[in-house]
Chain A
Amino acid sequence: MAPSAGHLRPGRYLAFFALLVVALYALVFFTGDGKPTPKLGIDLQGGTRVTLTARTPDGGQPTRDQLNQARQIIETRVNGIGVGGTNVVLDGNNVVITVPGEQGDQAKNLGRTAKLGFREVITSQPNTPAGPQGQPGTSPSPSAPPATGQPGGGGGAEGAPAQQPPGSAPPSSSAGDGQTPVEQARKVRQNPDLTGSDQAKAQAAQQAALAALTCAPNAADPLEGNDLPNQPLVTCGDKDATKYVLGPEFLPGTEISDANSGYDQQRGQWVVDLTFKGAGGKTWGDFTSSHVGKQAAFVLDTDVVSAPTIQGAILGGNTQITGQFTQGDAKNLADILKYGSLPLSFDSSDATTVSATLGLASLEAGLIAGAVGLIVVFIYCLFYYRLLGILTIWSLAMAELLVYAVLVLLGRWIGYTLDLAGVAGLIIAIGITADSFVIYFERLKDEIREGRTFRSAVPRGWTRARRTILASDAVSFLAAAILYIIAVGDVQGFAFTLGMSTLLDLVVVYLVTHPLVAMVSTARSKFLSNPRNLGLGSVQRMGAQRKAARSAARRTNVKEA
């Protein structure tokens, strides 16, 4: 930047800025789809957003690999639904699914962990004394609505199968809160003694675990998706109608290569057909051969989906899961199994569907608020700084022009979506941008107060104002950058626009505001160089008075000396 007005050629800076604007807008209109609109978040255009928070069995931090894997699996599940424009991104420990438009409701079920495993049934007992004693897996009583077994968009706290360890947290607290409930539940319900060789001990452990389990509908299970596969498990099943004592997992769900739902004409119910991978098929065949007449349990997220009695050896790598399925249930289960089980359990932290109406209203409110903000700042600047106010308005307009182009381009290049918080950030940034001009103009006033002319005040004032502007913008940018990197959720959109506006503010102050002020100060026009028109009149009178007073003081001192 030129150090003095003598060397500053304002025209060049302005020309450079004009070139920048032309280049940006050329990119806006002639690259990509050429549509000059930024990408809008679902809260501005309507749609569904589901935030899934990862939770690990031990309450520790999930690894990057696990998160990435989970993200990919969820993405495949999304594609399986077949809704266009869906976006799955990682945000800290969260997987955020965004579905624009109106078909997003299904996305609320995508976070199902779907940790499927096969366990041997040691024993089972009905949940309520009045409950039916029928053959488990073939005719369990539907004691709860079908949705109960499907932890959905409502989060891990709702719709989860109904188990409660003794003294566990109330239903409203989710299992993600800490590791204590999980550990507590494991101690009782995954006690190694359950299947131990010591008969008496095993009996006692089973009694304790079964007694601890209430299987009440709509209660959260802290163990959900967090059971240890190599330990026995006591859990509920058949829509909470039966309590099971299960052996360790002998075959993990990852051995499944394909899954399809279908209608079994013979049984008259919906079923899920599974195909195993090579090794899995062999394990399944071996197990079924040696356990004819016994029950095997399909455990999905710690919940027994079905526990059929093995009629004979099932060789060839195919099998069927039956249960009280509706068509939707069966399809959901098949999809989840087909697209892989997640390496982590997820809680639905936030599931939001914004109607297009509300989105439009929000967008309008944001635009109106922005326009109102700009106009009141314009009026204030005109009132307070007169001609300089016009420069401010021009500079602000230029800044907004830049911001808009950059928003469009970022939406295209890095998929940046402008959400409601981002709009708020933009509006608040109007103030920060205008502040830079205030700092500069007040500096000019300082210089004129010292008795300088407007013309000579500009280079001096600029050098000093520049430092302050740089320092204060650095602080603002620092705040925005840290927020952007660390925080989650809406914060990012807000921090992003705030930080971007701060940077663009610097560009505008250097390339537009200062060159324009310099031009005005060196203009030969009487009107332009009259400080009164620049809102500097009283300050200049003041400066002149002071100059006079100073020289008077000087003279008296001289006389005295």
Chain B
Amino acid sequence: MYVGTGALDIIGVRKRWYLAFALLVLVCLGSMIFRGFHLGIEFEGGTQIQLPARGAQGEITQSQVIGSFQKALGEQPAETQQVGAGASATFQLRSEALDAASVEKVKKQLFTDLAPIGSNGQPSERAISDSAVSASWGGEISRQALIALGVFLVAVVIFLAIYFDTRMAAAALISLLHDILVTAGLYSLVGFEVTPATVIGLLTILGFSLYDTVVVFDKVRENTRGLLGLSRRTYGEAANLALNQTLMRSFNTAFIALLPILGLLIVGSILLGSGTLQDLALVQLIGTLVGVLSSVALATPLLVDFKMRDPKYRQQAERVRARRAKAASRETGGDFDANDDDQLAAELRKEKAYAAAAGVPARTPKARPRPSAKPRPSAKKKR
């Protein structure tokens, strides 16, 4: 695999891949329909108040925070959690939407009771952050994101159809839709919180997913240039070869893309707890993995199936088979069976003779390759 010669037969077993992907998509769809999503504050509407976990009287405890909130408004916050670590540890309080005056009241009370320490080392009411979001805001962002998604899909199809061809565009589009569905489905399954940052992240995954597909398809196209005029291998075999040749590249691009994302996720979680950074990183992490998998095991197999609907490619595949049968019968006088000792001995003798003849210079460069020989993209066209 390291040098890109690993002959993994992905195209040959594509039916199995389809089945696996279909199952995955079904599970994801099911989860989205029956489980739904864990929506963030931006979708539900509400107020979040955040304060440093260090006060003038030392560490602030969770019960102190809740008590203070209750004193101010007469009710408990809906959710309280401590996030981050060390000097940057903070408390996050969430409640139903509060108006500006109530927020001010809570902040005053928290300051009076706990005196959280600000960045200048002094206790300050300004060290308390707050954020009030209306329930429609998340919807607004998502609506725009969906519009962007639609425009993006159209633009991408046009781009791919021009750069490659319509079949490649179709295959890429389907694997793209798969990526969206599965990423969203995983969010629903695991119950990660969906925030506007997640929705944004989902859109940028598409860029990456497609990026990877473009790299693979570029190689497929290169390997299949002039294929119809040749009878050396079928479209599927050429595509499989391209996949194997780009597998290491796909793996590397994915891995290198994942490294900073992982860094972002880990550092963000340790230092800040939940928030924009983690939301973006998490969705990117999932999406990148799904995107790479689908560009290898879904987009290319689909492409092969689409191409094989074209009679030209089917006829060519037929010619390849015919030619192979002929070549095989000419070389070994029938099907070679490695289990037959006589045939094996004959074959070994032949190999020895080839080796002995290796010193003789080639007289004709237009020699036919053996069926088992690895393809050379530089080979001349033959009719």
Which residues of A are at the interface with B, using a C-beta cutoff of 8 A? 43, 46, 51, 53, 92, 94, 102, 105, 108-109, 145, 147, 150-159, 172-174, 176-177, 347-358, 360-362, 364-366, 368-370, 372-374, 376-377, 380-381, 384, 420-421, 423-425, 427-428, 430-432, 434-435, 438-439, 442, 445-446, 449-450, 464, 467-468, 471-472, 474-476, 478-480, 482-483, 486-491, 494-495, 498, 538-539, 542, 546, 550-559, 561
Contacts and interface: CB of A to CB of B under 8 A. Distances in A.
Contacts of B90: 358, 361
B34 interface: no
A94 B275 CA distance: 22
B360 interface: yes
Interface string B39-53: 000100101001110
A400 B301 CA distance: 38
A399 to B, nearest CB: 13
A486 B246 CA distance: 34
Interface in B269-313: 271-272, 275-277, 280-281, 284
Contacts of B374: 546
Contacts of A476: 207-208, 211
Contact of B129 (A353, A384, A467): A353
Contacts of A431: 256-261
Contact of A491 (B2, B130, B145, B368): B145
Contacts of B51: 355
A490 B99 contact: no
Contact of B197 (A365, A421, A550): A421
Q: B interface, by DSSP: helix, strand, loop or mixed?
A: helix
A546 B373 CA distance: 10
Contacts of A424: 264, 276-277, 280-281
Interface string B152-178: 100110010001000000000000000
A382 B155 CA distance: 37
Given A373-B260, A377-B256, A468-B218, A174 B3 contact: no
A172 B280 contact: no
Contacts of A425: 204
Nearest to B102: A154
A438 B141 contact: no
Contacts of B245: 446
B268 interface: yes
Contacts of A475: 156, 159, 207, 210-211, 214
B263 A372 contact: yes
A487 B200 contact: yes
B257 A555 contact: no
Given A421-B276, A435-B211, A152 B101 contact: yes
Q: A357, A483, A539: which has the most chain B beta carbons within 10 Å?
A: A357
A80 B155 CA distance: 45
A498 B208 CA distance: 11
Contacts of A546: 374
A435 B363 contact: no
B100 A553 contact: no
Contact of B256 (A51, A176, A434, A553): A434
A556 B354 contact: yes
Interface stretch (B10-18, B68-76, B184-192, B247-255): B247-255
Given A154-B97, A498-B207, A558-B364, 6 more contacts: A108-B100, A354-B131, A361-B272, A365-B88, A442-B249, A538-B2
A550 B104 contact: no
B136 interface: yes
B200 A373 contact: no
A365 B50 CA distance: 17
Contacts of A551: 358, 362
B134 A157 contact: yes
Contacts of A494: 200, 204, 280
B168 to A, nearest CB: 12
B114 interface: no
Interface in B198-218: 200, 203-204, 206-208, 210-211, 214-215, 218
Given A487-B148, A558-B363, A471 B218 contact: yes
A552 B370 CA distance: 11
Given A159-B99, A558-B364, A491 B200 contact: yes
B229 interface: no
A368 B261 CA distance: 12
A489 B88 CA distance: 26
B135 A172 contact: yes
B119 A360 contact: yes
Interface string B93-132: 0001111111110000000000000111000001111111
A59 to B, nearest CB: 12
Contacts of B131: 350-354
Given A420-B275, A428-B264, A475-B210, A53 B137 contact: yes
Nearest to A451: B376
A438 B4 CA distance: 14
Contact of B50 (A356, A358, A498, A557): A358
A498 B201 CA distance: 11
A365 B206 CA distance: 26
A490 B196 contact: yes
Given A377-B256, A494-B200, A155 B132 contact: yes
Contact of B127 (A105, A355, A373, A556): A355
B45 A157 contact: yes
A558 B204 contact: no
A440 to B, nearest CB: 10
B5 interface: yes
Contacts of A376: 259-260, 262-263
A326 to B, nearest CB: 12
Contacts of B333: none
A34 to B, nearest CB: 26
Contact of B134 (A348, A438, A542): A348
Nearest to A379: B259
A551 B367 CA distance: 10
A381 B255 CA distance: 11
B55 to A, nearest CB: 12
Q: B4, B132, B373: which has the most chain A beta carbons within 10 Å?
A: B132
B134 A421 contact: no
Nearest to A178: B136
Contact of A479 (B100, B144, B206, B360): B206
B360 A555 contact: yes
Q: A147, A362, A489: which has the most chain B beta carbons within 10 Å?
A: A489
B200 A490 contact: yes
Q: B99, B119, B268: which has the most chain A beta carbons within 10 Å?
A: B99
Contacts of A46: 119, 126
B271 A356 contact: no
10 tightest A-B contacts by CB? A373-B260, A152-B100, A479-B207, A431-B257, A154-B99, A147-B101, A159-B99, A372-B263, A158-B99, A557-B367
A75 to B, nearest CB: 20
A250 B101 CA distance: 33
B226 interface: no
A372 B281 CA distance: 14
B214 A369 contact: no
A328 to B, nearest CB: 11
Contacts of A467: 218
Given A420-B277, A438-B253, A109 B100 contact: yes
